[in-house]
Amino acid sequence: MESTTRSTLAAVKEQLLAAANSNVLSTNPAELAATVGVLTEIRNICDGLELKVIHQAEVCEVAKAADASSTTAWLADKQGIDPTRAKKKLTLARMVEQHLPTAGAALCAGEISVDQVHAIAHTVAKLPSAAPLAEVDKTLTDHAHTLGPTPLRKLGNHVLELVAPDIAHQILQAQVEREERDADKTAYFHLNQDPDSGMWRFNGRTDKDTGERLHLLVDARSRPVKGADGPDLRTAAARRADAFGQIIELAHNHSTTRHGGNRTQMVVMVNPDTGIGTTLHTGQDLSPELTARIMCEAEVSHLLPDHLMPGHLHLTDPERLFTGKLRRLLELRDRGCAFPGCDRPPGWTHAHHIKAWSKGGPTTLNNGVLLCTHHHRVIHRGDWAIRMALDGKPEFIPPPWIDHHQTPIRNPIHA
């Protein structure tokens, strides 16, 4: 029988190789769609057979016979895949053999995909042994004929209400309590800096309430920004990254946490000749544009050169910052981001010096304007200009490629 299986697979392989190496493919859309359908069924059948073979290989201790350290290591080496992927295959093979006969049969018949089986296995793995696992397997497999992996997982969260409504509440409560009890054991947060670009990478896993709060904060701040500068061309991922940055900035500005004896601060050293900044704690160089943007709402100190006044530190006048009553006056006047067409509220804005403070601009109501993070960047790129009108309201002068007359415009949204 074993040789029959191998010979059958060898014959199928030869036929597939012939099809793959054929240069004659249909140009008919319907024919191509049908071909993709057949290939999908073949792939599903192969995935189902593979899970069976992997499980049998573990039972027969093939890894031991090959002097491998484990079935996972043997499979990774045999297939030339990452050990993490090999472990996932082995875990699913065990799950299908022990708890998912219906899903396994549908996979071997080519009716559903291995991703859908993963979704079903994800649900079953979370359920206690008292749950009707066979009914869950059957119900989710039936729905897999019409649902993809993601909606199938979502259905799995409520599947007990379909198959066992009388005990669903008790099982769900026990499951949720176990998940929340184990949250601390599985929570993590990784933060690493790319030494080449200076960009930061992070990933993590947190408890439900922390994740929900973060999701709400990011979601509220990541919708496209309106403005006279045209449509927001940032991707959704880029908007979420900017939103996360705004949340960090708000937390940083209101933090009372101590770092080295002082309130947590990002310290940037600025070269007065080049305008290039360097972060004190990580040594990263910042462009003059980014440095200037950071300085808009930063406390500034001047360390005079040793040959002028050794070791003397001159602290800036606090009136350089738009704080207290002056900040409230800006909010009352601008009512949010003043950039034309933007609807961001005051709490999401920076106070920007129209004439840079580093170039002698005063910290006064007539030299200040509120800008959201996105339009703050736009202004610091230098294409748009700002002027204060005779009535004390800020006006924005567009670049010539937007308006060749460069007619000053205002934001009517907060008027």
Q: Write out the E strands in 132-241.
A: 188-193, 200-205
Task: Name 262's bridge partners.
Answer: 259
| Secondary-structure percent of the chain, ordered helix, strand, coil, rounded to 5 | 50, 10, 35
- What is the pLDDT averaged over residues 29-45? 92
Instruction: State pLDDT tens for residues 120-146.
Output: 999 898 887 778 899 999 999 999 999
Instruction: State pLDDT tens for residues 359-379.
Output: 888 889 999 999 998 899 899
Task: Give the span between the Cα atoms of 340 and 338, in whole angstroms.
Answer: 6
- What pLDDT band is residue 306 in, cutting at 50, 70 and 90? very low
Supply the pLDDT for residue 209. Answer: 72
- What pLDDT band is residue 173 in, cutting at 50, 70 and 90? confident
Task: Give the span between the Cα atoms of 174 and 380, in whole angstroms.
Answer: 54
Q: How many CB atoms lie within 10 A of CB 241?
A: 13
Q: How far is CA 193 from CA 127, 146, 282, in A?
A: 39, 43, 9
Instruction: State pLDDT tens for residues 60-107.
Output: 999 999 999 999 999 999 999 999 999 999 999 999 999 999 999 999
Q: Which of 184, 183, 174, 198 is nearest to 126 (CA)?
A: 174
Residue 213 host element (H or E): helix 208-221
Q: pLDDT over 90 for what percent of the chain?
A: 40
Instruction: State pLDDT tens for residues 235-257.
Output: 999 999 988 988 887 777 665 55
Q: Which of 328, 375, 383, 324 is nearest to 352 (CA)?
A: 375
Instruction: State pLDDT tens for residues 207-239.
Output: 777 788 888 888 888 888 877 777 888 899 999
Phi first, then psi, for residue 202 (nearest 5°) are -150, 150
> Is the model's pLDDT at 262 over the cut of 90?
no
Supply the pLDDT for residue 312. Answer: 44
